[in-house]
């Protein structure tokens, strides 16, 4: 039984956004997600185990991601880990969030704040 509403929140939590982004192009297990998020954020966002698996559980319940079979070669110390795959709802929520954020970037660009970046 789902604890929360089936509808994803309008604005994704920061770490949910990062988890969905990590799953956007490939299925991953929890450790892989943590490492990718850590790398992409330059070490600024470390997903500690409680936060990571608590979020994965909630996101699964809300239909943003789903658990999927682990590849045969995926064997780790604690047995075959759970893999997660982004769902259509999850992809929709991710794209919506990216659009929301890119609107801010566009606004910044309109104010010539990103000239240096654009020239490079």
Partner 1 sequence: MRFATSRRLYRLALLLYPTEFRRRYAAEMEQVFVESLDTFTSRRRLLGPPYVWANILWDTVIRATTERVFVIRRKLGLGAAGKPPHKRGTGLDAFLKDLRYAVRTLRKSPAFTAVVVLSLALGIGATSTIFSAVNPILLRPLPFADPDRLVYVSENSAERPNARRIPTAVTSLEWTEHNEAFEQIEWVIGATRVHTYTYPGDVGPERYEVQWVSSGLFHMLGVEPMLGRNFVAEDNEYANGSWGVILSYGFWQQRFGGDPDILGQTWGNQVVIGVMSPGFRIFPWNEANFWEPLGDIASVAENPNAVRWYEPIGRLKRGVSKEGAQAQLDALARGLDRSGVSAESGWRVRVEPLHEFASRSYASNLYLLLGAAVLLLLIACSNVASLLMGRATTRHHEITTRAALGAGRLRLMRQLLTESVVLALSGGVLGVLLAQVGTRLFVILAPRMVPARRRDPRRRHGSRVHAGTLAADRDSLRDGPGAPRLQPRSSRIPQARGEGLGWGIAPVRP
In this chain, which stretch among 20-28, 52-60, 88-96, 108-116 interacts with partner 1, using CB under 8 A?
Answer: 52-60
H/E element, 65: strand 65-68
Does 10 help bind partner 1 (rule: CB under 8 A)? no
Given a contact cutoff of 8 angstroms between Cβ atoms, the answer to whether 93 and 8 are in contact is yes
Show contacts with partner 1 in window 91-110 (CB under 8 A).
Answer: none
Q: Which residue number, 13 or 117, has a Cβ lying nearer to partner 1?
A: 13
- Strand (E) positions, 61-109? 65-68, 83-86
Residue 33 contacts residue 19 (beta carbons within 8 Å): yes
Residue 112 binding partner 1, by CB under 8 A: no
Q: Give CA–CA dist 45/84, Å, rounded.
A: 20
Residue located via tokens 């970046």? 117
Could you tell me which stretch among 14-22, 74-82, 98-106, 111-119 binds partner 1 (CB under 8 A)?
74-82
> Looking up tokens 């769902």, which residue turns up?
87
52 binds partner 1 (CB under 8 A): yes
82 lies in the binding site for partner 1 (CB under 8 A): yes
Residues at the interface with partner 1 (CB under 8 A): 1-5, 29-31, 34-35, 46-54, 57, 76-79, 81-82
């Amino acid at each position: 039984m789902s604890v929360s509403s089936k509808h994803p929140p309008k604005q994704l939590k920061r770490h949910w956004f990062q988890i969905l982004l990590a799953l956007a192009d490939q299925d991953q297990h929890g450790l892989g997600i943590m490492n990718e998020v850590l790398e992409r954020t330059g070490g600024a966002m470390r997903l500690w185990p409680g936060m990571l698996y608590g979020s994965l559980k909630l996101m699964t319940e809300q239909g943003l991601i789903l658990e999927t079979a682990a590849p045969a070669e995926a064997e780790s110390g604690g047995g075959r880990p759970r893999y997660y795959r982004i769902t259509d709802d999850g992809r929709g929520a991710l794209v919506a969030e990216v659009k929301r954020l890119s609107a801010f970037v566009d606004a910044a660009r309109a104010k010539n704040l990103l000239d240096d970046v654009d020239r490079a």
